[in-house]
Amino acid sequence: MELIPGLPDDIARECLIRANHRDFPTLASTCRAWRAEIRVPEFFLRRKAVGLSRNLIVMAQAQVQPGRDSGSTKYLVTPTYRLTVLEPESGRWSELSPGFGLSDGLPLFCQIVRVGSDLVVMGGWDPRTWTASTAVYVYNFVLAKWRRGTDMPGVPRSFFGCAASDSDRTVFVAGGHDDQKNALKSAMAYDVAKDEWQTAPDMARERDECKGVFHRGKFHVIGGYRTEMQGQFESSAEVFDASTWQWDQVHEDFLDATSCPRTCVSGEDGLLYMCRAGEVAALANGTWKVICNLPNEVHEIACVLTWQGKLLVIGSPRFGEPHTAYVVDTKRYTWTKMTVSDEYSSHVQSGCCLEL
pLDDT tens readout for residues 146-182: 999 999 999 999 999 999 987 789 999 999 999 999 9
* Model pTM score: 0.92
Average pLDDT over residues 212-232: 93
pLDDT at 94: 94
Cβ atoms 326, 295 nearer than 8 A: yes
Q: Is residue 45 part of a domain?
A: yes
Q: Return mean pLDDT, the chain.
A: 90
Whether 44 shows a pLDDT value over 90: the answer reads no
- Look up residue 196 and give its amino acid: E
Q: Is residue 23 part of a domain?
A: yes
Would you place residue 66 in the very low, low, confident or very high pLDDT band (cuts 50, 70, 90)? low
Residue 19's domain spans which residues? 9-49
Average pLDDT over residues 119-147: 93
Q: Is residue 262 part of a domain?
A: no
Total number of domains constituting the chain: 1
Give tens-digit pLDDT for 6-36. Answer: 888 888 888 888 988 898 888 888 888 888 8
Q: Is residue 119 part of a domain?
A: no
Do you know the residue count of the chain?
Answer: 356
Q: Is residue 153 part of a domain?
A: no
What's the CA dihedral at 255, 176, 170, 95 to 10 degrees?
A: -100
Q: Is residue 26 part of a domain?
A: yes
Give tens-digit pLDDT for 253-302. Answer: 999 887 889 999 999 888 999 998 889 999 988 899 999 999 989 989 99
Q: How far apart are CA 109 and CA 346, in angstroms?
A: 15
- Look up residue 156 and give its amino acid: P
- Look up residue 112 and give its amino acid: I
Q: Is residue 29 part of a domain?
A: yes
Q: Is residue 13 part of a domain?
A: yes
Q: 3-state DSSP call for residue 114?
A: strand
